[in-house]
Amino acid sequence: MSIAFNKPPMTGNEQEYLLQVLKGSKLCGDGPFSKRCQKWFEEKLAVEKVLLTPSCTAALELAALLINIQPGDEVIMPSYTFVSTANAFVLRGAKIVFVDIRQDTMNIDEDKIEAAITEKTRAIVPVHYAGVGCEMDIIMDIANRHGLYVIEDAAQGVMSKYKGRALGTIGHLGAFSFHETKNYTSGGEGGLLIINDTQFINRAEVIREKGTNRSQFFRGMVDKYQWVDVGSSYLPSELQSAYLWAQLENAEEINNTRLSAWDYYNKGLKPLSQTGVIGLTKIPEECVHNAHMFYMKTSGLEERTRLLEHLKSRDIFAAFHYVPLHTSKAGLKLGWFHGEDRFTTNESEKLVRLPLWYGIKQSDQKRIVDAIIEFYK
């Protein structure tokens, strides 16, 4: 039997809740399940306002609109991230300034940010890779001293924390993903905008509703429902929210199960790490991670290619991850790399992600660990 790289989580109530929506009278967004999910996150994250979106990409685009990104503005972020992190700002005309990552966490190197700031810089976008927090205290200090916005790409960070604070709740705005590869999904796609700066709440509702004051109208705050600002369609369907609600009801179980699977890999592969054969994920003391992924590092691209082929020959489907954006055709055109690329490209060519999902069997994990040990023998 083959071992898949990923299987979307299902906890048992998804079908029932989807049928409730189909039998009801409301399929579009902001129905009962949407409101339950948003309330759950507001209480869990201890924030005043969150808004569900069709994807994390949509949440980031909404954030770019909220901070009024204009053509020629510069936005600082790591190159080792998914294209949506950059696209959300490029769509508004921004130029992307990539800086190097840290070797230990694969997160943006907080010590490289300040040197990349110019008079055109508007925002910093830290990406919490693998659900492990960036050094947010330092990043927020830099942003505050230079009058910049911080938008956390916490796509992989649901249930993770930095110094006791949930990822996504530290910057001015944050974004979660509920794509099927994430710890929690809303039926394949989905996202969440976290609004930590209350000045953005009213406008975020307007932009999300195609630029209209629809939400205020239905709350009786205005007497006319009309177009009042720029906007787009950033509401998920009620079907997405219903699927997500089944996951949130079992959020702790999903989190604990994934952490157990992560710990099994870490323990099984530690002997190879201790002898310097491979590198393993580093979790800083101030961070609580969510076992979004388990990755290991080989000595380089050639070894990684052989390891992936070896695992595939055993019907084990592991994967590498991002090709650094600054080396891509669009990245070369729409941004530039500031400073030295010391770790971004080199470390990205070493990284291998192992199968990890809610419900993975320990016997399958043993088979994976044994196959890796066999390869290095």
Q: Read off φ and ψ for residue 311, nearest 5 degrees.
A: -65, -40
pLDDT value at residue 312: 98
pLDDT value at residue 215: 87
Q: Read off φ and ψ for residue 367, nearest 5 degrees.
A: -60, -40
Q: Is the dihedral of CA 74, 136, 104, 177 positive or negative?
A: negative
pLDDT per residue as tens digits for the range 118-135: 999 999 999 999 999 999
pLDDT value at residue 364: 98
Pairing of strands 74-78, 95-99: parallel
Residue closest to 316 by CA, chosen among 269, 254, 364: 364
Burial class of residue 70 (count of CB atoms within 10 Å of its CB; 0-12, 13-18, 19+):
exposed
Contact 349, 334 (CB under 8 A): no
Residue closest to 194 by CA, chosen among 353, 95, 4, 66: 66
Pairing of strands 287-288, 161-162: antiparallel
Residue closest to 280 by CA, chosen among 140, 179, 130, 176: 130
**Edge-to-edge strand order for the sheet containing 121-124?**
49-53, 191-195, 173-177, 149-153, 121-124, 74-78, 95-99, 335-337
Residue closest to 353 by CA, chosen among 292, 306, 302: 292
- pLDDT tens string, the chain, 377 residues long: the values are 899 999 999 999 999 999 999 999 889 889 999 999 999 999 999 999 999 999 999 999 999 999 999 999 999 999 999 999 999 999 999 999 999 999 999 999 999 999 999 999 999 999 999 999 999 999 999 999 999 999 999 999 999 999 999 999 999 999 999 999 999 999 999 999 999 999 999 999 999 999 999 888 888 888 888 999 999 999 999 999 999 999 999 999 999 999 999 999 999 999 999 999 999 999 999 999 999 999 999 999 999 999 999 999 999 999 999 999 999 999 999 999 999 999 999 999 999 999 999 999 999 999 999 999 999 99
Question: What are the angstrom distances between the C-alpha of 195 and each of 52, 75, 112, 199?
Answer: 11, 19, 26, 9
Neighbours of 71 (CB within 10 A): 8
Q: Is the dihedral of CA 49, 55, 61, 65 positive or negative?
A: negative
pLDDT value at residue 363: 98
